[in-house]
Chain A
Amino acid sequence: MKKVWFLVLFAALFVACSSDNGGGDNGSDNVDPAPVSFERGAMLENWADNIIIPSYESFTAELSALKAAFETFKTDSNEANLTALRASWLSAYKTWQHVSLFEIGPAETVGLRLNVNIYPVDAEKIDGFVQSGSYDLTLSSNRDAKGFPALDYLINGLGENDTAIVSKFSTTEKDGLISYIDVVLNDMETLITQVISQWKAGYRDTFVNNDGASSTASVDRFVNDFILYYEKYLRAGKMGIPLGVFSGEVLPRNVEAYYKADVSNELFLEGLAGVQNFFNGNHFQKASSGESLASYLEALNTLKGGEDLAELINGQLNAARTRVEALGSFRSEIENNAPPTNMLKAYDEVQRAVPLLKVDMVSAMNISIDFVDADGD
């Protein structure tokens, strides 16, 4: 009898110890997916196939259009073509706001967000590069001289008005400017092509099949990224930092699209729409929708009872939108009001969604933040 216990103990220890692999494995490989009330896999599929990949495709198309507009401007640098180029730039920049959120997998590997939209842009650095003609935009130290913010400077900030800007493209600087813009656009295109081809060449399946629950599972990782985006890039980057809420002094130069001056709030609203569409599982640019964080919360709520968190979150995001819609462009709000009270109030409204996402949603879904031993106390 005792021998048996001895064996049981060691067998148990062996089995158990060998599964102690640091949470890297989500344990779902050879077990058929259980009939759970909510399928994380279905949500991941919806994210990948109906939201992430379509938005990348749309963004790629926008970039091509932007390049085409630049080709036209290149051959005939007049004000009308500059206006058209600018419109393409803005349109692509808006689509970018729906893509920026997905910094996971291939996008994380190439650092898409870091390479495409770091602002404030370093205008002096760009001037220097354009003059010298020698630069390497793949260096991480040059991230503030490329992407949309660099284009913002180059098509909106080179002169007082359109005549002045266009005239820059007829001086000796012309070649330098043209080739710089070419390099910037090609760099963006290369990156997004890399990202989308990797999504299609296998990452999609990796992402969807990693449907377990652990700090390395797709849902856990992506929910963390999603909240990080909302908190850091949308709330802080687009509003908080220029408002000076983290520095004590307003930093108007830190608004997104500083040189365009009148679109920063539009870009924010696109970003917010991207967040909310993703939260609700709305298919990209379609009226249909699928499994999402919202439907997941609803499924959990049927078990747990209590407040409808999905509704609360949507309500808060709507309230934030209403506040921001009532604002002028962020740059004018910050430059013309001291303190910029209305924008600070709007910021507070945006902020109010953070605890709902970061505390209530994460807690309801039991999302792991990190792999360390923790016994929930």
Chain B
Amino acid sequence: MTLNKENCLTRAVEAAPLAVFRIFFGLMMLLGLLRFVAYGWVDKLYIQPKFFFSYYGFEWVKPLGSFTYFIFLLCAISSIMVVLGYRYRLASILFFLSFTYIELMDKTTYLNHYYFTSLLAFLMIFLPANAYYSIDALRNSENAFQKIPVWTVNSIKLLLGIVYVYAGLSKLNSDWLIEAMPLKIWLPSKFDIPLLGNMMHLDWTPYFFSWVGALYDLTIPFFLLNKRTRPYAFAAVVIFHLLTRVLFPIGMFPYIMIVSTLIFFDASFHHKLLKRLDKWFKVGIQRFDNSRVLVDKKTRRFSFKTAILALFFLIQLCLPFRYLAYPDELFWTEEGYRFSWRVMLIEKSGYAQFKVVDTESGKWFYVDNSDFLTTFQEKQMAFQPDFILEYAHFLKQNFEKDGHKKVAVYVDSYVSLNGRLSTPYIDSKIDLTQEKESFQHKNWILPFNDEITGL
């Protein structure tokens, strides 16, 4: 198979894989949301805290008190609509917006898989995932297609491929490969997991996991693409992600990835799956096999859509490399760290004690962070410069409201990275209220005292 326009983009293929993907994706999202609410995390993470950390440029996105539950409800309803393929376009837009809104409310909870979900949700808006086995297709046979252009399926494969390969590339550094860090710290504390527990303290285990992990990420999309290796690759996907599920608190991500990789299978597999599903729902799957082919018309709307998706993927390819524009060690400054598929790469923790100075009276005092932040927020804040800066500005506002004049805020902070002894992190002589958030390098981060080589 050669990489030409027809093969990769326009060729008509069965719509079933995309329909299956739609159903599983929606289900996973629904489960994830239910799980989130059931653990009481909406309250704990978005209602209880007094202060929320915003993404640069998205300061206006805040939780809405108890109405925050309404956003979760909207998100859940739209995910059900996605599963059913009911008013799919509207549903996928609503899902993307509500889910992304939730993620933007507080960056303390940033997880790569939430970002992945948002991207996937965005992409799905543009895909005809309701062409087959959906209520939309039932309601209006004009919208029902047995075949769709292959780019729609390939775009999902491409996104998955980017996630894996970039996650693999980010592992090619000396801490991961040569020091086996941070697994050397994490694995010994997993002595209590079933079956593998007693190998967690062995010398070679973290090295083995590090190297296999990197190799897996770099190569798995290619093994999934190849028909002959696919079954083995999928088995590897299941084992790998279940292992990460057992070892690390990463919630729904393993399942989402396992289910997503089903998109690589042949249409016959998805047909079988849908047939089985149809035995329960009795919609009559044969009604969708109408031999109609969806062909993209060369309208302005289509050109617009193509342009958006091209830009989307261009950004996906470039964004993870933006760290090259910043000096000093990426893992230390975290400038360009997020949105780059750097998953489980660092064990970092910090301590930040803020000193508030009333520059008119000369009085000063330390801040008890627990007065304003939850334990989780404090932990995340203490080793990420953008959090520290935003919090310092919040402290200024808060204490000036309390009557202090011309408040300056200094921080005494220590950070430990991948098992290195903690060292001072932020220049404690800098009044943080005079610094502004931007995409520029933050020159008040003290330099990293070691070297990590690699990508």
Query: Chain A: residues with CB nearer than 8 A to chain B?
Result: 1-3, 5-6, 8-9, 12-13, 16-17, 19-20, 22-23, 26-28, 31, 34-38, 40, 211-213, 236, 240, 244-249, 300, 303-304, 306-307, 309, 312, 351, 354-356, 358-360, 362-366, 368-377
**Least Cβ–Cβ distance between B132 and chain A, in angstroms:** 19
Which residue from A12, A31, A303, A355 sits with its C-beta under 8 Å from B242? Answer: A12
- Using A2-B269, A9-B262, A359-B414 as known contacts, list a sample of 12 further A-B pairs with CB atoms less than 8 Å apart, ordered by residue number in A: A27-B194, A211-B192, A213-B191, A213-B192, A248-B365, A309-B421, A356-B422, A360-B416, A374-B111, A375-B111, A375-B343, A377-B338
Residue interface mask B257-282, A partner, CB < 8 A = 1: 01000100100110011001000000
- Cβ contacts A to B, 12 pairs, < 8 Å: A34-B192, A212-B192, A245-B365, A248-B365, A304-B185, A354-B351, A366-B185, A366-B188, A375-B344, A376-B248, A377-B110, A377-B338
**Of all chain A residues, which has the CB nearest B343?**
A375
CA gap between A2 and B66 in the complex, in Å: 46
Counting CB contacts under 8 A, is B329 at the interface?
A: no
**Least Cβ–Cβ distance between B382 and chain A, in angstroms:** 8
Counting CB contacts under 8 A, is B255 at the interface?
A: yes
Counting CB contacts under 8 A, is B147 at the interface?
A: no
**Of all chain A residues, which has the CB nearest B242?**
A16
CA gap between A377 and B353 in the complex, in Å: 21
A369 with B192: in contact, given A304-B419, A306-B420 (CB under 8 Å)? no
**Least Cβ–Cβ distance between A306 and chain B, in angstroms:** 6
**Of all chain B residues, which has the CB nearest A240?**
B366
Are B416 and A377 neighbours in the complex by a CB distance under 8 Å? no
Counting CB contacts under 8 A, is B292 at the interface?
A: no
Are A372 and B416 neighbours in the complex by a CB distance under 8 Å? no
Are B363 and A249 neighbours in the complex by a CB distance under 8 Å? yes
Which residue from B198, B375, B419 sits with its C-beta under 8 Å from A36? Answer: B198
Are B347 and A373 neighbours in the complex by a CB distance under 8 Å? no
Of the candidate stretches B8-16, B53-61, B231-239, the one touching chain A is: B231-239
Counting CB contacts under 8 A, is B193 at the interface?
A: yes
A9, A212, A368, A376 interface centre (most CB from chain B within 10 Å): A376
CA gap between A373 and B39 in the complex, in Å: 11
**Top 7 closest A-B pairs, CB basis?**
A34-B198, A373-B251, A355-B414, A366-B189, A248-B365, A212-B192, A248-B363
CA gap between A12 and B246 in the complex, in Å: 12
Are A213 and B189 neighbours in the complex by a CB distance under 8 Å? yes
In the complex, chain A residues whose CB is within 8 Å of the CB of B109:
372-373
Which residue from B238, B338, B346 sits with its C-beta under 8 Å from A9? Answer: B238
Are A16 and B192 neighbours in the complex by a CB distance under 8 Å? no
Which residue from B193, B258, B379 sits with its C-beta under 8 Å from A27? Answer: B193
**Least Cβ–Cβ distance between B442 and chain A, in angstroms:** 18
In the complex, chain B residues whose CB is within 8 Å of the CB of A355:
351, 414, 422
Are A373 and B421 neighbours in the complex by a CB distance under 8 Å? no
Q: Could you tell me which residues of chain B, from 11 to 68, have a CB within 8 Å of some CB in chain A?
A: 35, 39, 41, 44-45
In the complex, chain B residues whose CB is within 8 Å of the CB of A1:
231
Are B375 and A369 neighbours in the complex by a CB distance under 8 Å? yes
In the complex, chain B residues whose CB is within 8 Å of the CB of A356:
422
A36 with B111: in contact, given A23-B249, A363-B185 (CB under 8 Å)? no
Which residue from B44, B111, B231 sits with its C-beta under 8 Å from A5? Answer: B231
**Least Cβ–Cβ distance between A252 and chain B, in angstroms:** 16
Residue interface mask B408-446, A partner, CB < 8 A = 1: 000000111001111000000000000000000000000
**Least Cβ–Cβ distance between B179 and chain A, in angstroms:** 9
In the complex, chain A residues whose CB is within 8 Å of the CB of B242:
12, 16
**Of all chain A residues, which has the CB nearest B205?**
A303
Are A373 and B250 neighbours in the complex by a CB distance under 8 Å? yes
A303 with B203: in contact, given A34-B198, A362-B349 (CB under 8 Å)? yes
Which residue from B245, B347, B379, B421 sits with its C-beta under 8 Å from A366? Answer: B347
CA gap between A356 and B45 in the complex, in Å: 28
CA gap between A46 and B441 in the complex, in Å: 49
CA gap between A245 and B412 in the complex, in Å: 14
Are A359 and B350 neighbours in the complex by a CB distance under 8 Å? yes
**Of all chain A residues, which has the CB nearest B380?**
A374
In the complex, chain B residues whose CB is within 8 Å of the CB of A312:
421
Are B249 and A377 neighbours in the complex by a CB distance under 8 Å? no
A31 with B197: in contact, given A372-B249, A373-B249 (CB under 8 Å)? yes
Counting CB contacts under 8 A, is B190 at the interface?
A: yes
CA gap between A272 and B338 in the complex, in Å: 41
Counting CB contacts under 8 A, is B406 at the interface?
A: no
**Of all chain A residues, which has the CB nearest B28?**
A13
Are A364 and B350 neighbours in the complex by a CB distance under 8 Å? no
**Of all chain A residues, which has the CB nearest B110?**
A377
**Of all chain A residues, which has the CB nearest B399?**
A248
In the complex, chain A residues whose CB is within 8 Å of the CB of B250:
373-375
Counting CB contacts under 8 A, is B337 at the interface?
A: yes
In the complex, chain B residues whose CB is within 8 Å of the CB of A20:
35, 245
Are B255 and A358 neighbours in the complex by a CB distance under 8 Å? no
**Least Cβ–Cβ distance between A38 and chain B, in angstroms:** 8
Which residue from A211, A303, A359, A369 sits with its C-beta under 8 Å from B188? Answer: A303
Are B365 and A246 neighbours in the complex by a CB distance under 8 Å? yes
Are A17 and B376 neighbours in the complex by a CB distance under 8 Å? no
**Of all chain A residues, which has the CB nearest B331?**
A377
CA gap between A359 and B185 in the complex, in Å: 13
Which residue from B184, B350, B379 sits with its C-beta under 8 Å from A369? Answer: B379
**Least Cβ–Cβ distance between A187 and chain B, in angstroms:** 28
Are B188 and A37 neighbours in the complex by a CB distance under 8 Å? yes
In the complex, chain B residues whose CB is within 8 Å of the CB of A19:
246
Are B376 and A370 neighbours in the complex by a CB distance under 8 Å? yes
**Least Cβ–Cβ distance between A10 and chain B, in angstroms:** 10
**Least Cβ–Cβ distance between B379 and chain A, in angstroms:** 6
Counting CB contacts under 8 A, is B182 at the interface?
A: yes
In the complex, chain A residues whose CB is within 8 Å of the CB of B347:
363, 366, 376
Are A246 and B358 neighbours in the complex by a CB distance under 8 Å? no
In the complex, chain A residues whose CB is within 8 Å of the CB of B421:
306-307, 309, 312, 360
In the complex, chain B residues whose CB is within 8 Å of the CB of A364:
185, 419
CA gap between A120 and B84 in the complex, in Å: 63
Are A303 and B113 neighbours in the complex by a CB distance under 8 Å? no
CA gap between A344 and B269 in the complex, in Å: 71
**Least Cβ–Cβ distance between B265 and chain A, in angstroms:** 8
Are B375 and A375 neighbours in the complex by a CB distance under 8 Å? no
**Least Cβ–Cβ distance between B149 and chain A, in angstroms:** 25
In the complex, chain A residues whose CB is within 8 Å of the CB of B276:
6
Counting CB contacts under 8 A, is B208 at the interface?
A: no
In the complex, chain B residues whose CB is within 8 Å of the CB of A369:
375-376, 379
